Amino acid sequence: MFGTVAIAAAIVTPVASASGAPATAITTTTAVATTTPASGVAPATAASGAASTANSQCRRSPVVYLVPHQDDEVLSMAASIRRMVGRSGAACVHLVLVTDGISSGARTSMARGWVPVGGSGVVRVSLTPAQFGAARDREFRAAAARLGVPAANVHLGLPKAPRVPALTPAASRQIVSAAIDRFGTRAGYTTMSDSDPLADHRNLGTALRQVGATRKVSSTSFLYPPYRMPAPRQLSPTVATNDADRIAIRQAAAEYGRYDPRAGRYGIGWVSVPQQFGGPALTLRFVSDGGQQWSPGPIRSPNVALYRGYVSYLHR
């Protein structure tokens, strides 16, 4: 079993506005800062060298990751993505995000209040569903760039399959069919396992297995989440062993903890699933309905404790 990964925090001090006043006030432990979302924020900048890789430079069959939610590309797919970036070339690797992310309970947690990692006071952020989804997309784009995926290869849905709030079996089949129409049967497709306990993950995996077989796709792969162990079938681990891959994965995970309201970044991923991210995310403190602060603590048995982002588990 692999050791716990400590994810480096990426807490950014809010930038001063044009008038010189701070965009967000984070004061003492007892103070409360209420934040209004920034508007017109540009998408996250790609990691060095990633965005400059033109899609036309791919000389092999594309490698397509169907990502159920913002954060799955880090929590379950990161080591696999990094291997494919190195093996096939970044220009051949595509991430397709298939849900809009607005159904997460993190939006309620943020409105109720929490203490970001590295912060000293409670902050409250109220976002509309559209603002919340856009903020999650910024995290996703930033994490994808850290993993080395070119910005042009990061797809928020597909023309024939717009993103949905939840993955029903029918919606999942439509998404897989649209992906095959877009990238072809010679591409390799990877998503979450059809034995995943989470319905969205499981439905997408089932759809890829069924539709992929019907349309004679050359390669399909299924990943099992490391935080849902033990798995019901045999696993084959892909381990990120070199420093460049491990740094990329740590940086991608940290993008989900970045709190910088001025840039439209609220650390939603860590608020949403701090136990899965582990490391510094576990030091988050949330405000309950009664006003008390509490911390999530590590995942308990039978699940794997804490985030193991250096490994992607291929599910047979």
Domains of the chain and CATH, by start: 61-315 (3.40.50)
How many whole angstroms separate alpha carbon 127 and alpha carbon 240? 36
Cα–chain-centroid distance for residue 77?
Answer: 9
Strand positions, DSSP E, the chain: 32-35, 63-67, 93-97, 114-115, 122-125, 154-156, 188-192, 219-224, 235-239, 259-260, 265-266, 285-287, 293-294, 311-315
The angle formed by the CA atoms of residues 148, 274 and 3, to the nearest 5 degrees, is: 70
Q: How many CA atoms lie within 13 A of 155 on its CB side?
A: 24
How many whole angstroms separate alpha carbon 232 and alpha carbon 209? 17
Cα–chain-centroid distance for residue 58?
Answer: 24
Beta carbons within 8 Å of 61's beta carbon, 6+ residues apart: 92, 184, 186, 187, 188, 218
Rg for the chain, CA atoms, rounded:
19
Instruction: List the pLDDT tens digit at each of the 316 positions of the chain.
Output: 223 333 333 333 233 333 333 333 332 233 344 454 443 333 344 433 333 334 458 999 999 999 999 999 999 999 999 999 999 999 999 999 999 999 999 999 999 999 998 888 999 999 999 999 999 999 999 999 999 999 999 999 999 999 999 999 999 999 999 999 999 999 999 999 999 999 999 999 999 999 999 999 999 999 999 888 778 888 999 989 899 999 999 999 999 999 999 999 999 999 999 988 988 888 899 999 888 999 988 776 444 434 556 889 998 6
Give this prediction's pTM.
Answer: 0.83
Strand positions, DSSP E, 157-257: 188-192, 219-224, 235-239
How many whole angstroms separate alpha carbon 106 and alpha carbon 91? 33
